[in-house]
Amino acid sequence: MTELIDETEIRFEARDGYSLSGRIIAPAKPKAAVLISSGTGFPKGIYRRIALAGAERGYACLIYDYRGIGGSAPASLKGFRADILDWGRLDFTAALDRAAALAPGLPLFTLGHSVGGHLVGFADNADQARAHAFVCCGSGYWGSHDPAYRPKALFFWLAYGPACLALKGYIPEGGIWGGTALPKPVFQQWRHWAFQPRYFGDELDRIEGARFDQVTAPIRNFTFTDDELASERSVREMMSHYSASNPEIIRLSPEDVGARKVDHAGAFRRDAERFWPMPFDWFEAYL
């Protein structure tokens, strides 16, 4: 008999007091907790299915929106000040503490999609987690994307994005941008890093709070052969920042998870449900 799963919408405070939107998806008696962190511009709701799969395995899961995204966005993004470092140093860290509280004294894990895997390297409390599972976590450097994708990336960075900022003051939802609306500072910081080889380039040592090389918990990055953003090169470059952890890279084809196409975000769609148990199977070794 499947254990009853409870879903609860919550608000919780980031490190600086900013109100964040979250949802707890958990069994009555969890054996561990998992913080599920979104990719850039993806609202927390797309991770509900994989969180339910985890809860059915006994993991209390927290999904949440970073400031400026989805349920954590203000009424207007024009003039809203938030960047990716805020997501890592203020939002992810608070969410990790909130997730730990779902199963006090029990193991804690993270599952990060795309930039959700980057944020581990900016969190001063990441060592609370026993292991980190990443999904499609690669470098954002434009030259490391699949060659077919690079013209699209350059158009977004050099033409479409700047035009949106000039007209609206933020990146609106829709158009060639497939995610939720993005705050201007998020786009600007992301674009700056996107033109640095290995993404952060030589700046990483100068970014306050960056501690990628201090993360020692095991990391496994689940990636897909048809992902044009997180190409094989992109993934290797990003994982090289987590030098102390010696990350493991798993390369899957869409057929491996029963899907026709996965690309960068399809791992969370219903037709890729054979993927959903994989991170939790891996966590079992660290319980």
List, edge to edge, every strand of the sheet that includes 219-224: 5-13, 19-27, 59-64, 32-37, 108-113, 131-135, 219-224, 248-252
d(CA 208, CA 194): 19
For the chain, the helix, strand and coil percentages under 3-state DSSP, each to the nearest 5? 40, 20, 40
Q: How many CA atoms lie within 13 A of 55 on its CB side?
A: 24
Name the residue range of residue 229's domain: 5-286
Examine the pLDDT at 1 and tell me if it is beyond 50. Answer: no
Give the model confidence (pLDDT) of 89-117 as tens digits.
999 999 999 999 999 999 999 999 999 99
Number of neighbours of residue 139 by Cβ within 10 angstroms: 28
Domain count for the chain:
1
d(CA 89, CA 203): 17
**pTM for the full model?**
0.97
d(CA 255, CA 261): 8
**Of 136, 38, 144, 47, which Cα lies nearest the Cα of 95?**
38
Q: Residue 204, SS3?
A: helix
CATH number of domain containing 56: 3.40.50.1820
Give the model confidence (pLDDT) of 152-210 as tens digits.
999 999 999 999 999 999 999 988 998 999 999 999 999 999 999 989 988 999 999 99
